Amino acid sequence: MNQTPALRLLSQRLAEKRAQGLERWLLALESAGGVRVRLDGREILVMASNDYLGLTRHPRLAEAALEAVLTTGAGSGASRLVTGNLTLHAELEREIARFKHAEAALFFCTGYMANLGVVSGLAGREDYIVSDALNHASLIDACRLSRAQVRVYPHGDWEEAGRLLAEAPGGALRLLVTDGVFSMDGDLAPLPQLLDAARRHLALLVVDDAHATGVWGESGRGSVEHHGLTPSPELVMVGTFSKALGGLGGFVAGANEVVASLVQGARSFLYTTAPPPGQVAAANAALGLVDEEPWRREKLRRLSAWFRGELTGLGFTLLSEAGPIIPLLVGDSHQALAMGQALLRHGVLAPAMRPPTVPAGTSRLRLTVTAAHETGDLEQALEAIARAAKEVDLELG
């Protein structure tokens, strides 16, 4: 095909990405979720999914989704404010509010859209946002979309976050925004200190618990519970059903005024078709399982701690101390890519994470453990990791 100048420019940019070791591509797996999948006809051990509790293939989610599709429809037909709002949505939102001990909750099509909605639906041009440097891309995009004044503090530096909050202009709504568990490092935000800073400076604290809901805290309520905090009026909790909860859909839980403001002004809630019945019913079923099957969380903790110990024994330095997100820092993007490819040759899937997903010079393999893994799976992964590290000359320690 003849390349137009615009297509030629795109080709050049793609070639530059390739040369920098930053090209990405799509792998088509022959089944979703689960620990073992088929890829190009081979059986592969998955060590990178966010299905922390192993719920993606739980029969209760499938049954709930199927029944809702058969009785209520495959689609919702319109946005929530037109004709797409179903009793199923209202029931789920009541359950989310109960689960998170919040006054109210709002369900979004995805966690990405929940983050876009909560930040840009609450804050506008005249407002002020203080944001952690390693926040997820959806929060970064949300800050940009809001057009508020945005100040970024070094990762986890709650003292600097407080200083920046103190500089907010009078009359501005102040938001302090952080991941609860950081997606690429697996570490926790210093929530008690951040909440204290938010209170002192009359701000709302928005916590994205995408990777903590279902996993962290005694009863899986997330990082707020883990830190022993009780939900309070200044706390706005975001979460997703797409990770530990095995399905799809985001949510915001918090004070009535917060949820009411989002119904009026969150564009990613207003201007999109309502989540369809199957998705909503599966989400509701997953919330029930977090309470009914606590063994999943316990097993996840046990396996994560064991796997972390074994990796440290092999000489790897881990970026966080606990939890199922276990990044192996490589540094160079070409070497990280080579390590991911070597692992795949040995039957283990854990693609390299490279810029802009992580800061330059910190490319890594982001390994994850799930409650669906068994010790034998992790032993297989360890053997493959040790072999791959040797093949790509990865310096350990």
Ligand X SMILES: Cc1ncc(COP(=O)(O)O)c(C=O)c1O
Catalytic center residues: 183, 211, 243
Rounded to whole angstroms, the Cα distance separating 332 from 144 reads 29
For ligand X, the binding residue among 179, 225, 234, 293 (CB under 6 A) is: 179
Q: Which residue is nearest to ligand X (CB)?
A: 111
Minimum CB distance to ligand X smaller for 117 or for 162: 117
For ligand X, the binding residue among 76, 146, 213, 240 (CB under 6 A) is: 240
Among 283, 286, 223, 272, residue whose Cα is nearest residue 93: 283
Total chain residues near ligand X (CB under 6 A): 14
Rounded to whole angstroms, the Cα distance separating 209 from 211 reads 5
Instruction: Give the binding range for ligand X (CB under 6 A) out of 37-45, 164-172, 186-194, 204-212.
Output: 204-212
Q: Does 210 bind ligand X (CB under 6 A)?
A: yes
Minimum CB distance to ligand X smaller for 201 or for 221: 221
Instruction: Give the binding range for ligand X (CB under 6 A) out of 10-18, 203-211, 225-233, 293-301.
Output: 203-211
Q: Does 37 bind ligand X (CB under 6 A)?
A: no
What is the smallest separation between the CB atom of 275 and ligand X, expressed in angstroms? 11
What is the smallest separation between the CB atom of 244 and ligand X, expressed in angstroms? 11
Minimum CB distance to ligand X smaller for 179 or for 234: 179
Q: Does 185 bind ligand X (CB under 6 A)?
A: no
Q: Does 224 bind ligand X (CB under 6 A)?
A: no
Q: Does 242 bind ligand X (CB under 6 A)?
A: yes
Minimum CB distance to ligand X smaller for 193 or for 357: 357
- Contact positions with ligand X (CB under 6 A) in 91-150: 110-112, 115, 136, 138
Minimum CB distance to ligand X smaller for 275 or for 392: 275
For ligand X, the binding residue among 186, 217, 250, 254 (CB under 6 A) is: 250
Instruction: Give the binding range for ligand X (CB under 6 A) out of 1-9, 39-47, 208-216, 283-291.
Output: 208-216
Minimum CB distance to ligand X smaller for 76 or for 138: 138
Using alpha carbons, list the distances in angstroms from residue 24 to 17, 21, 27, 351, 359. Answer: 9, 9, 10, 10, 16
Rounded to whole angstroms, the Cα distance separating 379 from 362 reads 26
Minimum CB distance to ligand X smaller for 185 or for 234: 185
Name the site residues for ligand X (rule: CB under 6 A): 110-112, 115, 136, 138, 179, 183, 208, 210-211, 240, 242, 250
